[in-house]
Chains A and B, each alone.
Chain A
Amino acid sequence: MSVDDQLAAAAAAIAAMPEAAIAGRLAALEAEHRGRSALASAQLRATLDCLELDWAAYELARQHDEAGRPDEAARWYRLAAANDFADAPVRLGRVLEMLAERAAGDRRAELALVSEAARWYVEAYGAGHPEAAERLDGMIGDRAGRRRPPAEPPAAGECCERGGLAAVLEGSDLLTATEHFRRCTACQREFVSRGGLLPDRRPPD
């Protein structure tokens, strides 16, 4: 049986239910409708109003977004996205990414915005927006490419008196090498320039 056949079979029967099952529920609902307290009625009305607010927040956010006001758009998308409204999470991620671009000079603000954008892209992906994963990849890739280039390895003249990290590791035991490393800024710079990796050890003769 194909998917379409299974869907058609399920759709054809979805409205059929034994009368007894419906009648009991209907009677209970009518009784609740008549006997509810004013507070319970007000709570239900408030719940309905909240659902309308999600829609209103989303529409407002879209208008700000289209008018080029990402700060305001993000503010309203946050409200809609928190309640999983439509595609608000993916739109919020995109607006936050835009704000992170603008905050490029302020590392702390940029990081906070990128982190929040990543959170909403993940949320959107889980809700069924595969494009959110692509945007997340792109955002992380852009930022990785923009990182400061690794420090230049120290020039020959800058090497420490023991000839650099490789020589220190080869020529001493671990405790001595560690003690030297704590004091020698040239070795520390070399370590950073290697991306935090130690030089290969010379193969034994």
Chain B
Amino acid sequence: MVVQAGGVAVGQAPAGLPDPARRGHHARLAVTSFPDFYRQWWPPLVRCLITQASDTRWAQQIAHNTMLAARDNWERLLTYERPDAWLFKVAIRALRRLEARARDRGQLPDDAGSAAWDLGMAAAADDWIAGHLDIVAAIRALPRRQAEVMQLHGLCRYSLAETGEILGIAETAASEHFSRARTRLAELLR
């Protein structure tokens, strides 16, 4: 059984995220319990982080901690216009901090062998990664800001304005990053 965004069981059919225009409304009103929220947002959250992280274990740990924080603050989160945007904002900032520290200490695995091994492990554990390995590997090869914009706008279908809001950058900057990322992806996937 597969769970579609919104917690509806739909067999093995591919499931997308809610219509972007309705996503905030959907997240606030249709998801009334934390388990529903978790079912809807765990898959895109952890996969977006894996698509950006240098190490899949860090992505999984940050996604887990972010969901735990959402659980702790669930009542408050329900009052937010976009509880799902809060998830991505927190998780991406946490990943940035962790990787910045690792870069400073020279602990970031940045060679091609480590990256390929890590992605292989991620693909073995998740069918979505395995099924879209080329695009995931290509997004991982992008500069950090471009990868973040590509995840949010390209994969999670947030608008550029929402993407900018989540990342703390202007919409025009998000648009520039997306354009550069798309050009680079086309080169990498040729």
Within 8 A of A (CB), among B106-135: 128, 131-132, 134-135
User: In the complex, what distance in Å separates the CA atom of A10 from the CA atom of B100?
Assistant: 28
Q: Which B residue sits closest to A125, measured CB to CB?
A: B143
| A19 with B144, Cβ < 8 A, contacts A50-B97, A55-B168, A128-B177 known | no
Number of interface residues, chain A, beta carbon within 8 A: 44
Partner of B168, one of A2, A10, A50, A86: A86
| Contact residues in B for A19 (Cβ distance below 8 Å) | 1-3, 9
| A22 with B38, Cβ < 8 A, contacts A6-B189, A15-B15 known | yes
Partner of A14, one of B16, B69, B142, B182: B16
Number of interface residues, chain B, beta carbon within 8 A: 63
Asked if residues B97 and A22 are in contact (CB atoms below 8 Å), the reply is no
Counted as pairs of residues, one from A and one from B, with CB atoms less than 8 Å apart, the total is 150
Asked if residues B40 and A6 are in contact (CB atoms below 8 Å), the reply is no
Hey, which bits of chain A sit against chain B, CB under 8 A?
A: 2-3, 6-7, 9-20, 22, 25-26, 29-30, 32-33, 41, 44-45, 47-48, 50-51, 54-55, 58, 82-87, 126-130
Asked if residues B2 and A16 are in contact (CB atoms below 8 Å), the reply is yes
**Could you write out 7 A-B pairs with CB less than 8 Å apart?**
A11-B17, A17-B3, A29-B64, A44-B72, A55-B93, A82-B104, A128-B145
Asked if residues B155 and A16 are in contact (CB atoms below 8 Å), the reply is no
Asked if residues B42 and A85 are in contact (CB atoms below 8 Å), the reply is no
Partner of A10, one of B40, B104, B135, B144: B135
